[in-house]
């Protein structure tokens, strides 16, 4: 019976696209409307009317957001191996740049921030980072803000959450002795 009247549902859905629709943009968000697929219009908080047959939209959270940058092992300027993890706090200040020019803002923020942080750590010694952690965090904030320039975000803070000397051990899991593969325990 459902299949017999399924076409009625499809017709009803198509007719709904012709009728103007309402969208509520919360105070913590901003919206971007794509009219006719090419004209971009910014929506502030409030009630917006749009025509679904020719308009699509995307809502973005613009308030303060914090992302955790995954720990990585890197070598410092004094050739010591350290593990580095961090947090980056930002907010979106240009919703059109953040929504239109970048496919996945969160991933790009993480990837670009990680590159800037690892580059900053590699230019310092362990002692210089440990001696002035606040100064180093200020430098990180500046470097992350530079690499995210044009992304529609304002970096509020970048800081180290993990920083410790370590020993890196690389194990090749594909090595074989005779006809047997080595078991690495991982």
Residue-wise pLDDT for 14-64, tens only, equals 888 888 999 999 999 999 999 998 999 999 999 999 999 999 999 999 999
The pTM for the full model equals: 0.81
Terminal-to-terminal C-alpha distance of the chain = 54
Higher pLDDT, 82 or 176: 82
Rounded to whole angstroms, the Cα distance separating 67 from 155 reads 11
Rounded to whole angstroms, the Cα distance separating 174 from 186 reads 12
The predicted model gives 124-150 an average pLDDT of 97
Rounded to whole angstroms, the Cα distance separating 186 from 179 reads 20
pLDDT in tens, 88-98: 999 999 999 99
pLDDT attached to residue 107: 95
Structural domain spans, the chain: 6-61, 65-165
- β-pairing verdict for 180-181 and 176-177: antiparallel
Tell the residue number behind the tokens 């991933």, with chain if given. Answer: 107
pLDDT attached to residue 186: 45
CA atoms in the 13 A half-sphere facing the CB of 165: 8
pLDDT attached to residue 93: 97
Instruction: Output the CATH code of domain 65-165.
Output: 3.30.479.30
Rounded to whole angstroms, the Cα distance separating 78 from 4 reads 74
- β-pairing verdict for 39-43 and 46-50: unpaired
């Amino acid at each position: 019976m459902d299949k017999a009247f399924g076409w009625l549902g499809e017709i009803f859905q198509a007719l709904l696209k012709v009728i103007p629709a309402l969208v509520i943009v919360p105070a913590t968000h901003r919206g971007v409307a794509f009219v006719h697929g090419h004209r971009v219009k910014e929506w502030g908080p409030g009630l917006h009317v749009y025509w679904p047959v020719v308009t699509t939209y995307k809502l973005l959270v613009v308030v303060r957001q914090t992302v955790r940058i995954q720990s990585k092992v890197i070598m410092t300027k004094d050739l010591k191996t350290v593990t580095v993890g961090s947090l980056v706090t930002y907010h979106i200040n240009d919703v059109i740049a953040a929504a239109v020019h970048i496919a996945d803002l969160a991933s790009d923020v993480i990837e670009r921030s990680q590159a800037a942080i690892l580059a900053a750590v590699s230019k310092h010694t362990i002692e210089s980072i440990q001696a002035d952690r606040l100064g180093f965090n200020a430098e990180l904030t500046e470097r992350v803000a530079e690499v995210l320039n044009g992304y529609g975000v304002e970096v509020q803070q970048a800081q180290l959450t993990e920083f410790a000397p370590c020993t890196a051990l690389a194990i090749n899991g594909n090595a074989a002795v005779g006809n047997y593969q080595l078991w690495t325990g991982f």
